[in-house]
Structure 1
């Protein structure tokens, strides 16, 4: 048995509307599915969404046809949600592939703004090949890592830090030579320049500390 971390890339038409909110809503940066079960084509999930809870609840209420939902702010930059919704054909087939008795899904399942679904499986090599054959052809499956111990995604970034760093990256702030300024990032985000500078510095410090395996606050 191995822990295989994969990225399943959806298209605009295959991604479920609920999970596509992190792709379409600027105030939302990441969705983590903490628990999921499917019965008779209806999916029930408990999620954590990084970003503005009000924007998330508003999108669920006004943009989507959700059978049942509740949203609970965590008091910071995110919220938990309970959702029940009927799956379309693509996602029903995808859910069936994950329900094989011979594999285990290690939560959380992660949805990112580029329509990637990141998930860790514990499975044999033979069973993994069969699993890939069951994934709908419209979806792309890439192996991110293979190891003996499941790797669960953890981030030291707050939602605001993640959004600032992503915006900086997209605008070219990290290009060589640099093609964006703090002022341009601040304009895009609607923040003060000093706020953007602080978000980037703290976020970068957290990423470096995570890479080095040290406590950034223990210096």
Structure 2
């Protein structure tokens, strides 16, 4: 079983309106697709984890005609879960079809980023992977960031840290938050990230949860 870590770059015409808003609106940071159910008839159902201002994300949803309905579950000031039902496009169907085939698994999350790209991991048989890459629609260009055996630990197989969470971890480490005795505070991390202390605290808790889970699963 091989693993590909990929970056997709979209032509403007193919980019999802919400992703386009993510690129242009500084109030939105990232949008991660955690789970999806693609319907043969009717709207698709998707669950996202969103980093950024709730109101800005709601405005983007309201301005997108293909969105049928949505529900927002806030997580502090600068993050939320979003349950979304939407109508898919021909491009969506072609792109999804490239990676939804026997011998392949797309590993969530699919992270839509403010630089206009999307990043994801796919695992499977080499022949199926090669065919998937060849079937990516012309409106999207795909870069392979890493290729090898799939070796993600169980604790991170379906939940990886976001760039913002990694940024929080790096800031906390540099500021001495993890020193003994502790030097930096959550407020110091929040100042470095230019966010609310509650948001910084949530980021750090997520980092710590993943670190502890990974450590425990490695104990003989």
Residue 24 of structure 2 aligns with which residue? 24
Alignment of 1:149-188 (within 5 A): 149-151=150-152, 153-155=160-162, 157-158=164-165
Native 8 Å contact 1:77 1:159 kept in 2:
no
1:198 aligns with 2:192: yes
Native 8 Å contact 1:16 1:91 kept in 2:
no
Q: Deviation of residue 161 (structure 1)?
A: 6.2
CA distance in 1, matches of 2:24, 2:72: 19
Q: Deviation of residue 72 (structure 1)?
A: 1.2
How many residues are matched?
Answer: 177
Native 8 Å contact 1:3 1:147 kept in 2:
yes
Residue 185 of structure 2 aligns with which residue? none
CA distance in 2, matches of 1:93, 1:22: 23
CA distance in 2, matches of 1:29, 1:48: 11
1:83 aligns with 2:90: no
TM-score of the superposed pair, with normalisation by structure 1: 0.69
Native 8 Å contact 1:51 1:160 kept in 2:
no
CA distance in 1, matches of 2:94, 2:116: 18
CA distance in 1, matches of 2:48, 2:97: 20
Residue 123 of structure 1 aligns with which residue? 124
Q: Deviation of residue 44 (structure 1)?
A: 1.5
Per-residue CA deviation, residues 89-129 of structure 1 (Å, 9 max, x unaligned), is 11111111121121001111100012211110111221111
Per-residue CA deviation, residues 112-165 of structure 1 (Å, 9 max, x unaligned), is 012211110111221111001111012111101123235564137359969xxx
Alignment of 1:102-117 (within 5 A): 102-117=103-118
Counterpart of 2:18 in 1: which secondary structure? coil
Where does structure 1 lack aligned partners over 5 or more consecutive residues? 163-193
CA distance in 1, matches of 2:82, 2:166: 16
Counterpart of 2:161 in 1: which secondary structure? coil
CA distance in 1, matches of 2:151, 2:189: 36
CA distance in 1, matches of 2:192, 2:5: 32
Where does structure 2 lack aligned partners over 5 or more consecutive residues? 170-187, 195-199, 213-220
CA distance in 1, matches of 2:168, 2:75: 17
* Residues 1:159 and 1:5: Cα distance change in structure 2 (over 3 Å): closer
Native 8 Å contact 1:77 1:160 kept in 2:
no
Native 8 Å contact 2:72 2:81 kept in 1:
yes
